[in-house]
Amino acid sequence: MKRLLITGAAGGLGSVMRQRLASRAEILRLSDIGDMGEAAPNEEIVTCDLGDAAAVDRLVEGCDAIIHLGGVSVERPFDQILNGNIVGMYNLYEAARAHGHPRILFASSNHTVGFYRQDEQIDVTAPMRPDGLYGVSKCFGEALARLYFDKFGQETAILRIGSCFPEPKNHRMLSTWLSYDDFESLVDRVLETPMLGCPIIWGMSDNDSSWWDNSHAKYLGWKPKDNAEGFRAALEQSVERPAPDHPNAIFMGGPFTQDPIFK
């Protein structure tokens, strides 16, 4: 493709995908409100506040696809979440509608369902049960993506990311871990599949311990290869297991179910 946009390019996952996806397009357009450093020869650096509709419209113009990692990624006061995750999401979809419906991968979150228990297994038909304002903002994003698909034909892969890091950091992540390699391979399937639609995809690797059923997205042909189980022995030695009555051991959302609502 000619131009691939990555929002949130200064963040942890955005910085990694900036390197890994460099060959997927002639030009990578990178956007954030944070420092993204110097542009590589095939990069365009665009500082953009997602809450600024005119700026987002300019950002999306000329793009063939969008990896939308931008916005607030943890629990924060509502005004911060409102600007980046709600107003910003609306601005992005309006810009996509105005500029030819570039295919979107939307980084949603497991925190849309954080109050389900870890002893349950759910699929994408389970009602949302967000565990905080951040989770609520991702529920909004998912609903908006579905609206724009049904009403305007805007294709989106809604990716409910579990925990995307080099390796699991705690016992909960043995179920939620998504490796960088598996994320990258999913991006390829989202960009290449002839008919995407608007699927919800659980963002997890092929973990032995899993809570989520990804069968609704089988048609994409995505087959994650990594497994968090290989890290279990090291975690058992280095990280204390949470008490059985602690939210980290009870709820899918773990610590987010405890976090206060910020004022």
The answer to whether 63 touches 46, Cβ cutoff 8 Å, is no
Beta strands in 8-81 (DSSP E): 27-32, 43-47, 65-68
Which residue bears the tokens 């297991």?
241
Closest CA to 1 of 29, 20, 37: 29
User: Which active-site residues does the annotation give?
Assistant: 134
The pLDDT value given to residue 169: 96
The pLDDT value given to residue 99: 98
| Contacts of residue 61, Cβ cutoff 8 Å, sequence gap at least 6 | 95, 99
13-36 pLDDT tens trace: 999 999 999 999 999 999 999 999
The pLDDT value given to residue 259: 67
End-to-end CA distance of the chain: 43
Domains with residue ranges and CATH for the chain: 3-257 (3.40.50.720)
Cross-strand bridge partners of residue 251: 117
Paired tokens of 152: 């305007």
For the chain, counts of helices (H) and of strands (E): 9, 9
Taking the C-alpha atoms of residue 232 and residue 229, their distance in angstroms, rounded to an integer, is: 5
Strands of 27-32's sheet, edge to edge? 43-47, 27-32, 3-7, 65-68, 103-109, 156-161, 200-203
Which residue bears the tokens 């049960």?
129
Paired tokens of 251: 């709820």
Q: Do β-strands 43-47 and 65-68 pair in parallel, antiparallel, or remain unpaired?
A: unpaired
Dihedral over alpha carbons 117, 118, 120, 123 (to 10 degrees)? 100
Q: Which residues of the chain have pLDDT under 50?
A: 263
The answer to whether 91 touches 74, Cβ cutoff 8 Å, is no
The pLDDT value given to residue 100: 97
Taking the model in full, what pTM does it have?
Answer: 0.96
Taking the C-alpha atoms of residue 159 and residue 98, their distance in angstroms, rounded to an integer, is: 23
The pLDDT value given to residue 239: 95
The pLDDT value given to residue 262: 57
